[in-house]
């Protein structure tokens, strides 16, 4: 097909290729939307809960005074929409597609004659690298915004360069050399300063890509190019130095990007690769445009797809994302969802085990089904405090549902303080407002609610609760706050991690309708393999609920009886349970693993084994 020159921008391909290209863009957009809206929606919630974006001047000012602050502001503004996975997925789809489009446009400025599919397959390199890098949940939208802003800045620079190359890449001056030179430098210096403020160190993309752009200009002298490169790099260095004089961050953070990652002091390879590809790919476009085209696009596409398949499991680490899934369901109090998930994926980490136990307890199944899942001792029921956000919040949720409001308050507060990039959290502030209301700390609750009023997604909830506080009597009647108040222990003593069973007992004695506390109370000693304590706690429960006789209690009683050489009380232990114990005993004494396998997830096996 004969090539025509059109609008100075490359070869006119058939109209069908144009539609195919649009179709590929659309398919990519749909895939990105689906990816974040369905299998990875929990990751959106994860990122949203690690920030507290407020629509106030104070909030903007708190970010505007640092390089990359505006990118963080925009990133956090957009991240708040992750609260609703449908909007969040649309945001991700929009940003990723925009990134791809900008890469495509920059390539076309570097190589106006490059065929569409070659350009697209090249543009997919930074796009896929960004996609894979985002598998790391520590990467924030700040990073993506910073990259997009820097790449867009590069594109604007090339546009503002007076379209001085025609379709064949030939130099077409539209003003005299001095004027052109002055304007180029002005754009570079202003662009560097502006972009460094807007995007932070990602603006190095602008510095290097515009330098490369100048280098691809065959008409410009080497001296001109060398001076441009020196001034561009010097200008960026000057900006970094000037900011370092007023920032209270180490220079290392400034170079890796304040706010790009949740963990500020880490250097990620993916970050460097994405930025490097944004610089290298336009240069490759200029090189590839001069080569025979036939095999470039399909080869590149094939290599990229293979690379994505290879790196995907490493980028989207299954273990990490399972924990994020659990956290998402704990946050939503989706107890059935957790149990279904645990039925499919055997929970084996402290967070997933404790979340599964909580879900089983909340659905009234813990005292029957606890050993259907892997157990981690009493710490799997109520994990000890660790300085980590998700674990703290999961444990905080356990305390909250139990009615240990002080401890819930502490764990949510500590979880928020453990957010590595010093952010606050909408999720935590919401829970802290609730715990303050339950504790009767209305002034404090009003403070938290006033903060949430400055958000988009928590505003209505905050206003409803502020109205509620104007009528304190209504708080006692509130379905959540009122019932939690009834659960709270009156006697004051200091929290002891080693004696949580005693607190569970206190909770049950305070409110015998606290079904979760009851289940935790009888399971706690079983998980400690302390059958004497179990018998003691069952006695406490039996005083108020004589008919309470769940499967685990039956199994434990049968086990105790057999262990002590006493007859199994048939009025309490059904025949099936007794038979099951006898079968297990035979299997255990046979020491035949295949015979024991069916009992691996039973109380009997747990009590005897030391796993």
Partner 1 sequence: MTKYKILSVLITLTLLGCGSKPDNVERVASLPPIFPDYTDVTIPAGIAPLNFAVISDNADVKRVDVTVKGDNGYEIHSNGEYAEFDIDEWHALTEANKGKRLTVSVCAKTDGEWIKYDDFNINVSSWPLEQWGLTYRRIAPGYEVYSKMGIYQRDLGNFDEFPIIENTMTDGQCYNCHTSNRTDPKDLVFHVRGEHGATMVRKNGACTWLKASSEDLGGSMVYPYWHPSGRYCAFSTNQTRQGFHISKGKRLEVFDISSDVLVYDTEKNEIILDSLLNTKAWSENTPSFSPDGKWLYFTTCYQQEYPLKHKDEKYNLCRISFDENTGRFGEKVDTLFNAVAIDKSVTWPRPSYDGKYILFTLCDYGYFSIWHKESDQWLLDLDTGEARPTDEINSSDADSFHNWSDNSRWVVFTSRRHDGLYSHLYITGIDDNGVFSKPFLLPQKNPKDYYIQSLYSFNTPDFTKTKVDLDSREAVGAILSDERIPTKVKP
CB–CB of 337/325 below 8 Å?
A: no
- Tell me the site size for partner 1, rule CB under 8 A: 48
456 is a contact residue toward partner 1 (CB under 8 A):
no
171 is a contact residue toward partner 1 (CB under 8 A):
no
| Interacting residue with partner 1 among 81, 253, 268, 599 (CB under 8 A) | 253
538 is a contact residue toward partner 1 (CB under 8 A):
no
What are the backbone angles phi and psi of residue 5, rounded to the nearest 5°? -95, 130
34 is a contact residue toward partner 1 (CB under 8 A):
no
Site string for partner 1, 367-386 (x = CB under 8 A): ------------------x-
Burial of 548 (0-12, 13-18, 19+ CB in 10 A): middle
- Shortest Cβ 403–partner 1 spacing (Å): 11
Our CB check for partner 1 shows the closer of 135 and 264 to be 264
| 5: β partners | 11
| 261: β partners | 139
| Interacting residue with partner 1 among 7, 248, 566, 589 (CB under 8 A) | 248
| 151: β partners | none
CA distances from 201 to 115, 124, 243, 463, 491 (A): 32, 23, 11, 40, 55
| Interacting residue with partner 1 among 18, 23, 26, 265 (CB under 8 A) | 265
**Alpha helical stretches, state H, 332-458:** 335-344, 350-362, 366-369, 389-402, 405-417, 426-438, 442-452
Distance CA 364, CA 155 (A): 59
What are the backbone angles phi and psi of residue 162, rounded to the nearest 5°? 60, 25
72 is a contact residue toward partner 1 (CB under 8 A):
no
- Shortest Cβ 476–partner 1 spacing (Å): 14
Q: Is 471 helix (H, G, I), strand (E, B) or coil?
A: coil
Site string for partner 1, 413-442 (x = CB under 8 A): xx-xxxx--x-x-------------xxxx-
Our CB check for partner 1 shows the closer of 410 and 427 to be 410
CA distances from 164 to 14, 171, 174, 207 (A): 27, 6, 7, 20
304 is a contact residue toward partner 1 (CB under 8 A):
no
| Torsion angle in degrees (nearest 10) through CA of 15, 19, 24, 29 | 140
**Cα angle 386, 435, 48; round to 5:** 60
* Binders in 471-510 for partner 1, by CB under 8 A: 488-495, 503
447 is a contact residue toward partner 1 (CB under 8 A):
yes
From 126-134, 245-253, 310-318, 581-589, give the range in contact with partner 1 by CB under 8 A. Answer: 245-253
| Interacting residue with partner 1 among 83, 150, 184, 409 (CB under 8 A) | 409
151 is a contact residue toward partner 1 (CB under 8 A):
no
Please name the helix (run of DSSP H) or strand (run of DSSP E) that holds residue 502, with its range, or none.
helix 500-510
- Shortest Cβ 413–partner 1 spacing (Å): 6
By CB under 8 A, name the binding residues for partner 1.
54, 56-59, 248-250, 253, 264-265, 385, 387, 404-407, 409-410, 413-414, 416-419, 422, 424, 438-441, 443-444, 446-447, 450-451, 454, 470, 488-495, 503
């Amino acid at each position: 097909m004969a090539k025509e020159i059109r609008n100075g921008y490359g070869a006119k391909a058939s109209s069908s290729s144009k539609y195919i290209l649009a179709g590929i863009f659309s398919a990519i957009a749909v895939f990105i939307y689906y990816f974040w809206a369905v299998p990875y929606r929990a990751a959106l919630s994860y990122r949203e809960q690690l920030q507290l974006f407020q629509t106030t001047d104070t909030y903007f000012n708190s970010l505007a005074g640092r390089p990359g602050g505006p990118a963080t502001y925009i990133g956090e503004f957009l991240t708040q929409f992750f609260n609703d996975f449908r909007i969040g997925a649309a945001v991700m789809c929009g940003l990723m597609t925009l990134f791809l489009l900008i890469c495509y446009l920059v390539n076309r400025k570097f190589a106006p004659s490059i065929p569409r599919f070659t350009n697209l397959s090249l543009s997919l390199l930074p796009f896929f690298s960004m996609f894979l890098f985002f598998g790391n949940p520590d990467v924030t939208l700040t990073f993506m915004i910073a990259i997009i802003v820097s790449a867009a800045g590069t594109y604007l620079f090339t546009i503002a360069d007076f379209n001085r190359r025609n379709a064949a890449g030939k130099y077409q001056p539209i003003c005299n050399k001095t004027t052109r030179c002055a304007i180029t430098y002005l754009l570079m210096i202003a662009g560097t300063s502006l972009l460094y403020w807007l995007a932070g160190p990602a603006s190095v993309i602008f510095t290097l890509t515009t330098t490369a752009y100048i280098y691809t200009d065959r008409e410009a002298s080497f001296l001109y190019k060398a001076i441009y490169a020196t001034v561009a790099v010097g200008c960026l260095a000057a900006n970094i130095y000037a900011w370092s004089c007023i920032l209270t961050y180490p220079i290392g953070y400034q170079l890796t990007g304040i706010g790009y990652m949740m963990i500020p002091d880490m250097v990620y390879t993916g970050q460097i690769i994405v930025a490097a590809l944004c610089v290298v790919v336009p240069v490759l476009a200029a090189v590839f445009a001069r080569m025979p085209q036939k095999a470039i696009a399909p080869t590149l596409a094939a290599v990229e797809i293979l690379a994505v398949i290879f790196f995907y499991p490493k980028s989207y680490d299954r273990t990490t994302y399972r924990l994020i899934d659990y956290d998402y369901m704990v946050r939503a109090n989706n107890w059935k969802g957790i149990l279904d998930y645990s039925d499919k994926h055997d929970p084996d980490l402290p967070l997933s085990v404790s979340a599964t136990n909580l879900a089983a307890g909340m659905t009234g199944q813990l005292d029957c089904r606890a050993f259907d899942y892997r157990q981690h001792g009493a710490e799997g029921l109520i994990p000890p405090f660790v300085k980590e956000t998700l674990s703290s919040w999961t444990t905080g949720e356990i305390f909250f549902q139990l009615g240990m409001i002080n401890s819930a308050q502490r764990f949510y507060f500590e979880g928020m303080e453990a957010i590595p990039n010093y952010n606050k959290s909408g999720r935590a502030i919401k829970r802290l407002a609730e715990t303050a209301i339950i504790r009767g700390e209305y002034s404090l609750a009003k403070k938290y609610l006033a903060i949430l009023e400055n958000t988009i997604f928590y505003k209505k909830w905050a206003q409803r609760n502020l109205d509620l506080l104007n009528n304190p009597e209504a708080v006692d009647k509130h379905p959540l706050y009122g019932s939690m108040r009834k659960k709270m222990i009156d006697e004051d003593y200091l929290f002891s991690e080693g004696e949580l069973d005693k607190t569970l007992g206190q909770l049950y004695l305070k409110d015998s309708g606290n079904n979760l506390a009851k289940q935790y109370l009888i399971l706690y000693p079983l998980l400690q393999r302390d059958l004497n304590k179990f018998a003691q706690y069952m006695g406490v429960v039996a005083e108020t609920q004589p008919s309470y006789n769940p499967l685990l209690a039956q199994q434990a009683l049968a086990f105790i009886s057999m262990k002590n050489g006493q007859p199994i009380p048939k009025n309490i232990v059904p025949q099936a349970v007794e038979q099951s114990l006898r079968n297990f005993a035979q299997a255990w004494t046979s020491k035949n693993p295949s015979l024991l396998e069916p009992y691996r997830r039973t109380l009997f096996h747990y009590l005897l084994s030391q796993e």
